């Protein structure tokens, strides 16, 4: 009987989280040719988060594939925009408008070419910094006041190397392993940010 009571308790706890009140979006490009590319670091990270939370990102909505999860007692929408990277804001803006979620409760996971693979940086807000996905999100949310987790994917081998070719290039296995080794830290940071403690997330995981 104890198992039945435990099940009822879990169901009750799940319903207590209420409607979606936070968005977590991983950025990337859909399609086979983009799998395991540097620009898809956000997709890879959010897939890991969904798996660890027992969630499935498999419904088509808001120009994205989406799923829902409970994090720290908060109902969260997990998103992978299907608009291609440069139009990510179309999807995220649509979801934020539908749920009436302010920019401060929209967390973005994205690739960062300024950092070595496996380095993560957490920011409370900021400019696009040349990242077209962030530029689109800023435009559609009409705000720079959204948190983001920057996932280092490595720097161009030379200044002359074409940026598009670099970010759409496949990860060398060693680089991908460096990033995969930080997934648990990214999930830890996500939990703190959803809880409203981004300072602790920055202090603990931005390294």
What is the set of active-site residues?
39
The Cα angle at residue 88 between residues 162 and 149, in degrees rounded to 5: 80
DSSP 139: H
DSSP 83: S
* CA–CA dist 103, 3 (Å, integer): 40
Question: Is 124:146 a contact under the CB 8 Å cutoff?
Answer: no
* CA–CA dist 76, 21 (Å, integer): 6
Question: Is 125:145 a contact under the CB 8 Å cutoff?
Answer: yes
Secondary structure string (H, E, C) spanning 21-60: CEEEEECCCCCHHHCCEHHHHHHHHHHHHHHHHCCCCCEE
């Amino acid at each position: 009987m104890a198992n039945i009571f435990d099940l009822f308790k879990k169901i009750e706890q799940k319903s207590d989280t209420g409607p979606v009140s936070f968005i977590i979006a991983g950025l990337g490009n859909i399609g086979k040719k983009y799998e395991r590319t540097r620009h898809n670091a956000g997709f890879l990270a959010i897939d890991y988060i969904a798996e660890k939370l027992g969630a499935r990102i498999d419904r088509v909505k808001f120009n994205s594939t989406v799923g829902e999860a409970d994090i720290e007692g908060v109902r969260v929408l997990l998103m992978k925009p299907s608009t291609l990277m440069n139009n990510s804001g179309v999807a995220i803006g649509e979801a934020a408008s539908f749920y009436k979620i302010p920019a401060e409760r929209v967390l973005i996971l994205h690739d960062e070419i300024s950092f070595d693979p496996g380095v993560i940086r957490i920011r409370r807000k900021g400019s696009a910094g040349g990242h077209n996905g962030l530029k689109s999100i800023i435009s559609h949310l009409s705000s720079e006041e959204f948190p983001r987790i920057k996932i280092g994917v490595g720097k161009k081998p030379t200044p002359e190397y074409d940026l598009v070719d670099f970010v759409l290039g496949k990860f060398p296995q060693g680089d991908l392993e460096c990033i995969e080794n930080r997934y648990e830290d990214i999930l830890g940071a996500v939990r703190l940010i959803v809880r409203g403690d981004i300072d602790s997330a920055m202090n603990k995981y931005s390294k």
